[in-house]
Structure 1
């Protein structure tokens, strides 16, 4: 029997796990772009054992570029040149047979080759190496560019917060999209999950002057011919990462 996520199961994954952490990292200057998508299309892309998580019957595909900083294994210091890099992912929202909600990643681009290799090996996630650049100007605009290695396909974003940030209210669409603390991966046909823990995002609507959805094309989706339906910004969170476990 497949169980849909309950309000309590969504609360449960927000709590700090009882496991030991394997890694610490900071996620900064996040842009959350979301497009409403055909639920049946997204369902057709999921592995057995995962089910599309919807909000009021609607499904979403998200592009999330951000900065990763101060990355280090537990009990280890940061390492210059390795502990800071950029990441951008394409994702949708799912749950397992028992109603545990989380994220399914179609791809994750990063500009640190060692990090790409480690993440593939430890978390079995579809990381891809990319040439990426990002900076924040004096007016608060985040200039973000990514070009997938070997393809020449590039993406560019220009964004900043458009209002004061606040914690999303439980039960809202913003909460449904942003407050995700479980990642799922597939290993030899079996579903595994990994937890992260951080304080709730302080979110604001994002002012987006430049965006694209070329990441859709690289993952077999037809790029939408409209801007994102939803755009949010977060200054960032400090994150504890936990090991994968078999579902």
Structure 2
């Protein structure tokens, strides 16, 4: 699978590990940085999505997307692979949502979404989920929304290995569950993120709470943004 992610924001909050661990499969271990767990909310524009060798499908190629995620390890010695676990993924393309549910059983939701602007002038992002969209999901429709404006406030840099920024963003594996319940991993490949420090103005933010993870209202997120990056994802492999 090939795709391009653009006008992206990494919004990260420190979250008590005790809130996240019960929401993860027992096969995975919650990953922490210096003892602290993190939750990420990532709005962006998906572009050029296609599965080789098939051509792009117009209604499932370019669309806004929104992910709620945390960081985990699984499989193998030494804690295994470092990767991402998604609590939810919202997209405006019905066909993309259906394809992701059927193909890799990821918790995708259909949402009314808009993204416009640039990182230098400000990216306006709005998302409101249109339904639970996932068997057994305990989701309140009115609680699954994000409205924000984010912008870059610094120059491009690549995160240094060992830094928090590197730990949060340079993840080359995602985990999910097959419909059988077995956990899988999918390797992804891309160049290092061209990060910039960022600033966000949050008008509404309840997608984490809709996943059962309340965020402390007095804690501001750590914000990084990135312009665009080409990404390749491989087929899922049972853990």
1:131 aligns with 2:131: no
1:239 aligns with 2:231: yes
2:118–2:151 CA contact under 8 A, matched in 1: no
Partner of 1:191: 183
Q: Distance in 1 between matches of 2:189 and 2:109?
A: 24
Structure 1 residue 143 displacement after superposition = 0.4
Q: Distance in 1 between matches of 2:66 and 2:150?
A: 14
Runs of at least 5 residues in structure 2 that lack an aligned partner in the other structure: 132-140
Q: Which runs of structure 2 are paired with 1:211-222 in the superposition (5 Å)?
A: 212-222=204-214
- Deviating beyond 4 angstroms after TM superposition, the runs of 4 or more aligned structure 1 residues are none
Partner of 1:113: 94
Q: Which runs of structure 2 are paired with 1:35-184 in the superposition (5 Å)?
A: 35-98=13-76, 99-136=80-117, 140-150=121-131, 151-153=141-143, 154-184=145-175
Partner of 2:135: none
- Equivalent pairs counted in the alignment come to 225
Runs of at least 5 residues in structure 1 that lack an aligned partner in the other structure: 1-22
3-state DSSP of counterpart to 2:95: helix
TM-score, normalised with respect to structure 1? 0.87
TM-score, normalised with respect to structure 2? 0.89
2:119–2:150 CA contact under 8 A, matched in 1: no
1:33–1:228 CA contact under 8 A, matched in 2: no
1:132–1:147 CA contact under 8 A, matched in 2: yes
Structure 1 residue 209 displacement after superposition = 2.4
Structure 1 residue 242 displacement after superposition = 0.5
Q: Deviations over 1:50-75 (max 9, x none)?
A: 00001000100110000000111112
3-state DSSP of counterpart to 2:38: strand
